[in-house]
Amino acid sequence: MKTLELQELLDEKVKKFNNSSFLTADPIGIPHRFSLKQDIEISGFFAAILAWGNRKSIINNCNRLMHLMDESPYDFVINHSPTDLIKFDKFVHRTFNCTDLLFLIEAFKGFYKEHNTLEVLFTPKIDDSTVKSGLENFHSSCFKLDYAPLRSKKHIATPQKKSACKRLNMYLRWMVRDDSNGVDFGIWKSIKPSQLICPLDVHVLKVANYLGLINTTKSNWQTAEILTSKLRQFDANDPVKYDFALFGMGLEGIGDSKISDRPKFAM
């Protein structure tokens, strides 16, 4: 199979999975419950950060969190009192617990006092080709706070630690990509879709290897950059739309066979 055939396959899968039916069983459905930009930002952030493990459990815990925030996350973050936080004491999702949650709520409260959007914290430096510096800035903005718990660093990834930053890259895709398919929001305009890095989910990693887009099982920042550079060959302006294709193909079981049995593409 040649490069053109590979692009045709990926484009076909993007059309299949980049549609509103994708929302029902995916964490991105959580921010789609809201219309206020800041509500979308906050609920989307927590939906992305909690997005590991069983998808049903992820969505249930995200719904629970929104309920604890009185179904109005921005108003809650800005106007909560110390006693309002007591109800989060038993919140936990895998290793993410109330300590991490309360830290982020307080951090967001401080951020929103200075800005009307979280976008400025993720915006890369001028002329940067990717969001790398934006992700690093968000991490440093969080952990320069004197009340930042050390344990929460494992939940806020950064390229400086060579992390693939899967969940944050997914969050940026949600906020930045703008098409007419009703999945991604496109509410952040200072970051270009061309600057996004593909979220390196286990399905994406598996299928990308199977298709010959990458040749490593290491999930790190370098691999995410290499994969995204390959996807730019198919669409330089919007390479991360192929996240839909790779993730969806993984759900279909494509790539489960041995790498030696994979189709041959000329890249």
Nearest Cα neighbor of 119 from 62, 212, 37, 25 is 37
Residue 120: band (very low, low, confident or very high) from pLDDT cuts 50, 70, 90: very high
Burial class (CB in 10 A: 0-12, 13-18, 19+), 207: buried
Residue type for 179, please?
A: D
Average pLDDT over residues 171-190: 96
Question: How high does pLDDT run on average in the chain?
Answer: 94
| Closest to 60 measured CA to CA, from 87, 30, 16, 90 | 30
Burial degree of 61 (CB within 10 A; 0-12, 13-18, 19+): buried
Residue 124 contacts residue 101 (beta carbons within 8 Å)? no
For residue 263, name the pLDDT band (cuts at 50, 70, 90): low
pLDDT digits (tens, 9 = 90+) for 201-230: 999 999 999 999 999 999 999 999 999 999
User: Could you give the CA distance from residue 209 to residue 222 in angstroms, rounded to a whole number?
Assistant: 14
pTM score, whole prediction? 0.95
Return the closest-CA partner of residue 62 out of 76, 43, 78, 80.
43
Please, which pLDDT band fits residue 255 given cuts at 50, 70 and 90? confident
- So what's the pLDDT on residue 35? 98
Using N-to-C axis directions, what is the helix angle for 55-68 and 37-49, rounded to 10°?
140
Task: Report the alpha-carbon distance of residue 120 to residue 137 in Å, rounded.
Answer: 9
Residue 266 predicted with pLDDT over 50: no
Predicted local distance difference test score (pLDDT) of residue 42: 98
Mean pLDDT of the 59-68 span: 97
The DSSP H or E segment spanning 1 is none
pLDDT > 60? residue 258: no
Maximum alpha-carbon separation in the chain: 61
CA 134 centroid distance within chain: 14
Alpha-carbon distance 251 to 256, whole Å? 10
**31 and 262 Cβ atoms separated by less than 8 Å:** no
- The residue among 89 and 257 whose pLDDT is bigger is 89
CA 180 from centre of chain: 19
